[in-house]
Amino acid sequence: MRWHTLSPLVAKDLALFFRNRFFAFITILGLAAYVGLYLAMPQTVDEIIEVGLHARSDAEPVTEILNAQGLSFLSMDSEQELRQAVLDGVVMGGILLPEGMLADLAQGARPTVAVLVPSDTPAEMREVMVVLVEALALGLSGSPLNLVVHEETLGPDMGGSQIPPRDRMLPLLAVVVLMMETLGLASLIAEEIQTGTLRALMITPLGVGELFAAKGFTSVTMTFAQVSLLMLIIGGLQHQPLLILLTLLLGSLMVTGIGFLMASWGKEMLSVMGIGMLVIIVLSIPPFGVLFPGTVTAWARLIPSHHLADTIHQVANLGAGWGQVWQNLVILLAVDVLLFGLGIAVLKRKLR
Amino acid sequence: MANAAIVADSLTYRYGELTAVDRISFQVAEGEVLGFLGPNGAGKTTTVRMLTGQLRPMEGTATILGLDVARMPKAVQAQIGVCFETANLYEQMTAVENLRLFGRLFGVKDLNVEALLARVGLDGRGKDRVAGYSKGMRQRLMVARALVNRPRILFLDEPTEGLDPVSAEAIRNLVLEERERGVTVLLTTHNMLEADRLSDRVAFVNQGRIVALDTPHNLKQQYGKRTVKAQVAGEQGRLETRQVTLDAPDTASALQALFSQERVITVHSEEASLEDIFVQLTGRRLTQ
């Protein structure tokens, strides 16, 4: 590998990247937009789940009993008001107590309690609401629950200090920034294949290995610099900066391999962008799972970006160290080697 | 051939079922210009790609300056200059940047970009981006790029195709200058006049094979017919054309009859063109 051969190629690629107004624009504007998006996301998490309550009668005694037991509901004056609050999302759900409920409970009858939930409430949440009503009924009947609940928190107790959405978004931002930069470089390679400039390069003493080394160096440097700068600005490097930077470097290698593949599949900028958008969507699934826990099933672990997103989340948001994430890093490195090798093999074939 | 710069020995290449190059063999001496003539799809470009290390021959060998191209492509490529059929320049870079990039890749330390641009008539335009160049300017820059490493062998693939007369002439003069410097040139073209003017020898390529290889003069001697074409005043003063073939047994009497029996207005001697010979040998035209 000869540096005097690599350096003009790297300089050429950087010049071409920034002379493409579109990519130059989205690189600079993108950085500002990602920072803006991060800042626009909530900084805190509201841990209170508000539930509305309307008792057709006995409203005062019911509220007193519940308050005495430490349960607080948003009391509604009418059934209509409760229904509207549920529909408007003011409360997560509503509980409608029937008339004469306290008396019925005292006589051992089984009054019917209506639980109101919005149509998009997950099944798990509906079950929680039903359990809540059952607990409520026990409280109102004066019968204490005949068991002691012992709570044990596994891992760091995040109660009262939940991860804000903006920090949950760090892995997603990292993946998107890495991929956006890679799109530009993949487009340049595709264009070089299409216009035949790569053929012209290959008729010089430049070896195929040197060509890919130069392309890889440019891509990794650009993506790594961009994503590291973003992380620095939004505070993603506050905890274990070296570990985060290493993860981002491995992420840069991963997307460069993917970039090589995209460049060989696409013919010019538009087709590379089209393919790239699909790839971004797929790669964004694991970080979406971090942003919205419970929305992504286990198969998302098979997506190459999972180990990148998970490591950033573990380290930046949960305070994990080398010991907790080393397996992720090893897998990420293996994915890099695989994608890089595959990308180079496919591109080499296309060059022939 | 004693000092063969290019040796092609039974070169063969197939694209699937199609045999693009079918056991082509020829040699080009150092300092010689060989015109490679043939219509589109004849196998010219594929042959050049094998000779320049862009394609690996499926059969046969290519030797450049004594080096086996398939085994040492990079050593070969360091000593050759290639001008492609279609412009493949970095459009968002200037001419100077394009030439400097390739100069550095070839390891040329004393590259005089301005002098090189002046040779192809692009002096003063070096700092303009190639995207703003005309087709002729791009092609001239392509030729300049092929010269950055002062190659011992030049491969020019249709270098004047579709160019304006000024640009085409500039490139032709450059080929002649390079020949004067002792550079070997393989000129791929289907422009027979260009081949006739620039080439020491020409090879006719058709359907992946060389059907004739000799100097233009010898080919004309061997396959062409010299004629005298005369315009005579016909009935009611209309011009009519008469043609007398030279080198025929009755040439003398036919010429005598022409001048004694007709009122000759103009007389021109003509020899066969390379195009005529190509058609005669292959039944196809070069521009097909």
| CATH number of the A49-141 domain | 3.40.1710.10
Closest CA to A196 of B73, B157, B91, B87: B87
Tell me the two tokens of residue B231. 């315009």
Q: Does B120 touch chain A (CB under 8 A)?
A: no
pLDDT in tens, B205-238: 999 999 999 999 998 888 877 888 899 988 777 8
Residue B152 pLDDT > 60: yes
CB contacts of A200 in chain B (<8 Å) are 82, 84, 88-89, 102, 145
> CATH 3.40.1710.10 spans which residues of chain A?
49-141
Phi, psi of A315 (to 5 degrees): -80, -50
Q: Which residues pair with B240 in a beta bridge?
A: B232
Residue B90: predicted pLDDT: 96
Tell me the two tokens of residue A196. 């035949």
Phi, psi of B13 (to 5 degrees): -150, 135
* Sheet of B264-270, strands arranged across: B239-245, B227-233, B264-270
**Rounded distance between C-alpha atoms, residue A227 and residue A225, angstroms:** 6
For residues B287 and B146, which has the higher predicted lDDT (pLDDT)?
B146
**Rounded distance between C-alpha atoms, residue B216 and residue B59, angstroms:** 29
ipTM value of the model?
Answer: 0.85
**Rounded distance between C-alpha atoms, residue A235 and residue A185, angstroms:** 27
Task: Please state, in angstroms and as integers, the Cα–Cα distance from residue A23 to each residue in A11, A270, A284, following that order.
Answer: 16, 13, 21
The answer to whether the CB atoms of B88 and A4 lie below 8 A apart is no
Q: What is the pLDDT along chain A (352 residues), one digit of tens a residue?
A: 677 788 999 999 999 999 988 888 888 888 899 999 999 988 877 767 788 888 877 767 777 776 666 666 788 888 899 999 999 988 888 888 888 887 887 787 888 888 998 888 888 888 888 887 887 777 777 666 666 777 777 766 766 667 888 899 999 999 999 998 888 889 889 989 889 999 999 999 998 889 999 999 999 999 999 999 999 999 999 889 999 999 999 999 999 999 999 998 887 788 888 999 999 999 999 999 988 887 778 888 899 999 999 999 999 998 899 999 999 999 999 999 999 899 999 988 887 7
> Which of A188, A202, A203 is the best substitution to test chain B (most B C-beta atoms within 10 A)?
A203
The answer to whether the CB atoms of A16 and B54 lie below 8 A apart is no
Residue B287: predicted pLDDT: 66
**Rounded distance between C-alpha atoms, residue B246 and residue B135, angstroms:** 43
**Rounded distance between C-alpha atoms, residue A228 and residue A221, angstroms:** 10
CB contacts of B100 in chain A (<8 Å) are 8
Tell me the two tokens of residue B258. 């022409």
Tokens 């694209």, located at residue: B15
